[in-house]
Amino acid sequence: MNITELAALAGVSKAAVSRYFNNGYLSEDKRAAIAAAVEKTGYQPSEQARNLRTQKTRQIGIVIPRLSSESTARVVDGISLTLADKGYRLLLANTANDPAKEVEYLDTFRHSGVDGVLFMASVFTPEHESVLKNMHLPVVIIAQRHEGYNCVYHDDFGAAHAVAARLIQRGSRHPIYIGVTARDYAAGYARHEGYLAALKEAGIAPRAEDMFLAQFSMKSGYEQAKAILQSGRRPDGIFCATDAIAVGAMQACREAGLTVGRDVLVTGIGDSAMGRVTAVPLTSAHLHYKTSGQEAAQLMLKLLKRQGSGTRCIQLGYEVVERESTKMGLESETV
Amino acid sequence: MNITELAALAGVSKAAVSRYFNNGYLSEDKRAAIAAAVEKTGYQPSEQARNLRTQKTRQIGIVIPRLSSESTARVVDGISLTLADKGYRLLLANTANDPAKEVEYLDTFRHSGVDGVLFMASVFTPEHESVLKNMHLPVVIIAQRHEGYNCVYHDDFGAAHAVAARLIQRGSRHPIYIGVTARDYAAGYARHEGYLAALKEAGIAPRAEDMFLAQFSMKSGYEQAKAILQSGRRPDGIFCATDAIAVGAMQACREAGLTVGRDVLVTGIGDSAMGRVTAVPLTSAHLHYKTSGQEAAQLMLKLLKRQGSGTRCIQLGYEVVERESTKMGLESETV
DNA sequence: CTGAAAGCGCTAACAG
DNA sequence: CTGTTAGCGCTTTCAG
């Protein structure tokens, strides 16, 4: 069933049918006749013909590093809900943590029928810059601030700073740092800077031997912490750039016979569900992942309507959530 | 830049350019000339024109109940990786746990330019049946067995049976059951049946007052367990239909002053990352979620190639993973 | 092996 | 308010 047949059935022209589906001028008679024919046949206009003709698809592409991470899942959740509300569909490109694939998918989207692209970024290589520059499509970058682009991101510096300050306040004199690559500006560089700022404010000199690098995983956090502890070191505090790393680190501490929250204080960032149920619940900073997804989607919708000029950067706040992992013998004071 | 311009530039016909991109007959001369022109201009055929013309989009729709659930995320992860490998794109429809939206999205996909639909199902209403029957598109149902359709699902009965048997074996004489609605055949009905079968084998009579219903969430598991404990009951075991419920239940037990694994045994199903890091690690059954996503995607690819006749049902196995939550005073024996 | 020609199904001027 | 018309950019017979 196509528009021509439907038009014949309703006794009107193709144009009338098109107007019926696009809120154009139409008399009540014709509208009713078309409605009847549509009802009877179950006709629906071909999305593909429409796409070709209008050069729009009502599809938004999203490039993400992985799905099996609570933060990413929450962001995508927020996006999909907001977009669905407005009749847009979500085309998902999962790069499995491969920056080269990010560039590849970005480029694919460029010529393949999406109206805009949401990009959950980690690092920016020259290739990223180049493909982003040539997009000729609305782009919103999520989780990173990037000059000259529309972005929605978190206050990574502030969150890290506040959490590290709390860690120090609770008694850690030399918190070590387990973070991720600084090539990830938000989760790597900014959080490290936040940690350093807190140290500085407390008059603690940062030491190179206190800095460790991990991947974005519990396993990696576990391994790093285990190596540190096996070397014989007994830090009084561990600042982790993500909750996953922190949960892994707590596991290692436990296995080394240390009681988290008493022998060693541990913090994360992200306030994941996991950190709330660990043997010793984890102190962290809540980041508004789902909200960032919603905000990014809304920003995209604005761009698609050509509303607003220039680029917009939206930074979302954080809240420190203190739990037992930083309560070194202070239970009575901090109830 | 479109095919006509590119053809002019290369000094060939549109048809030749089309053949260039579709591996048709083409002399080496022309092929080279076209390659040069493509190189120079960066031309890429319009996906949308192609879609209209071929009536294919190389897009697969997927309908899921939510994203912020580890099991779902793992399934989608598996799907997206497999599909991307074969040049297919994934269109994501998130129903936010609303069965009515499932039907709606299924219907949307029916007429909107996807080559096939993956459906991560929970319940089947008459509306579901009706829309599925009228799809006229390859469909693969994930997580549920459904007569007459291609499915990839888990051995929910077997997993529940094995876990419940372990729970009883470890000393629970009257394990209570906290599950989800039986309208969800796999996670609700089949797991309950597995639990009942284990009871029967152990000669334990099931009691109506031991059965409780929760939502798919930690919070709900917590609330159910809390209510049970507040009523004064002190069960010796709690069988939970999902890990999330179990984690919530353990939290409630802990708050009630009970030591999980000693005063009360608790089990889940799904082997989530969360259950591995809880205060008392959770005994559960591992289900191969990511694999099920991959299998479903592969099955879809086969259907798209019109390979294989009839429908195919793939059931995946499980492995019991025992942790401290079922080790009631048996530590010495079960190391 | 190659090009001409005929649409895929729809929308958007345009003239009435 | 309505119908006619001319494509959107591509693929695919069909002759040659």
Question: What H or E segment, with its residue span, contains residue B314?
Answer: strand B313-316
Query: What per-residue confidence (pLDDT) applies to A290?
Result: 96
In this complex, the nucleotide whose C1' atom is nearest to the CA atom of residue B53 is C8
| Other beta carbons less than 10 A from residue A131's beta carbon | 18
Q: Which of A57, A66, A274 sits opposite B277 (nearest CB)?
A: A274
CA of B47 to C1' of C1 (A): 26
Alpha helices in chain A (DSSP H): 3-10, 14-22, 28-41, 47-54, 70-85, 99-110, 126-133, 156-169, 191-201, 218-230, 243-255, 273-277, 289-304
Residue B221 CA to residue B228 CA, distance in Å, equals 11
| B319 pLDDT tier (thresholds 50, 70, 90) | very high
Do the chains contact at B112 and A47, CB–CB below 8 Å? yes
Total-model pTM: 0.92
Q: What are phi and psi of A66, to 5 degrees?
A: -175, 165
| pLDDT greater at residue A271 or residue B30 | A271
Q: Which of B68, B113, B280 sits opposite A73 (nearest CB)?
A: B68
Angle subtended at Cα B5 by Cα B2 and Cα B8, rounded to the nearest 5 degrees: 145
Tell me the per-residue pLDDT of A124-183, one tens digit each, with 9 for 90 and over. Answer: 999 999 999 988 899 999 999 998 999 999 999 999 999 999 999 999 999 999 999 999
Mean pLDDT value across residues B167-172: 94
Query: What per-residue confidence (pLDDT) applies to B330?
Result: 55
Do the chains contact at A80 and B67, CB–CB below 8 Å? yes
In this complex, the nucleotide whose C1' atom is nearest to the CA atom of residue B14 is C3
- Picking from A1, A48, A218 by the largest number of B CB atoms within 10 A of its own CB, the best residue to mutate is A48
Residue lying closest to nucleotide C11, CA to C1': A53
| B132 pLDDT tier (thresholds 50, 70, 90) | very high
Residue B116 CA to residue B61 CA, distance in Å, equals 6
B247, closest residue in chain A (CA to CA): A277
Q: What are phi and psi of A176, to 5 degrees?
A: -85, 165
Do the chains contact at B278 and A273, CB–CB below 8 Å? no
The contacts of residue B37 (CB under 8 Å, 6+ apart) are B6, B9, B10, B43
Residue A55 CA to residue A37 CA, distance in Å, equals 28
Closest CA to B178 of B207, B232, B144, B215: B215
Tell me the per-residue pLDDT of B250-291, one tens digit each, with 9 for 90 and over. Answer: 999 999 999 999 999 999 999 999 999 998 999 999 999 999
In this complex, the nucleotide whose C1' atom is nearest to the CA atom of residue B1 is D9
Tell me the per-residue pLDDT of B179-209, one tens digit each, with 9 for 90 and over. Answer: 999 999 999 999 999 999 999 999 999 999 9
Q: Which of B46, B94, B277 sits opposite A80 (nearest CB)?
A: B94
- Picking from A112, A259, A266, A271 by the largest number of B CB atoms within 10 A of its own CB, the best residue to mutate is A112
pLDDT under 50: residue ranges of chain A: 331-335
Q: Which residues of A touch B76 (CB under 8 A)?
A: 67, 92
Mean pLDDT value across residues B102-116: 89
